[in-house]
């Protein structure tokens, strides 16, 4: 049984409006960063899992899709690395 460190990246689908991102973009424009566009704010969730790799991968896919993201509005992907 090993320990794994996972990162889950959750972003709004491109077709979904992102008011928080728009607000950041406008703030940046006022701060003389007018060359910045397309700001989107998503989530990065870090977690630690114990178990066998195959079981942990299946579990992480389940958690990512069913708990940490809303598949209607969000895209989600994960990375897993064994913790030394």
**Total residues interacting with a second copy, rule: CB under 8 A:** 31
- Tell how far CA 40 is from the center of its chain: 11
DSSP-assigned beta bridge partners for residue 75: 11
Within 41-70, which residues bind a second copy (CB under 8 A)? 41-51, 59, 63, 67-68
Residue 72 CB, nearest distance to a second copy (Å)? 19
Residue 82 CB, nearest distance to a second copy (Å)? 15
3-state secondary structure of 63: helix
Under a CB-based contact definition with an 8 Å cutoff, are residues 40 and 11 in contact? yes
3-state secondary structure of 69: coil
Contact string 2-41 vs a second copy (x = CB under 8 A): -------xxx---------x--xx-xx--x-x-xxxxxxx
For strand 2-12 and strand 74-82, is the pairing parallel, antiparallel, or unpaired?
antiparallel
Residues that bind a second copy (CB under 8 A): 9-11, 21, 24-25, 27-28, 31, 33, 35-51, 59, 63, 67-68
């Amino acid at each position: 049984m090993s320990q794994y460190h996972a990162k889950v990246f959750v972003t709004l689908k491109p077709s979904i409006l992102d008011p928080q991102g728009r607000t950041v973009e406008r703030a940046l424009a006022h701060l003389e960063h007018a060359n910045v566009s397309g700001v989107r704010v998503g989530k990065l969730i870090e977690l630690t899992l114990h178990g066998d790799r195959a079981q942990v991968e299946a579990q992480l896919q389940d958690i990512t899709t069913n708990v940490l993201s809303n598949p209607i509005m969000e895209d989600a992907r994960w990375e897993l690395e064994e913790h030394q």
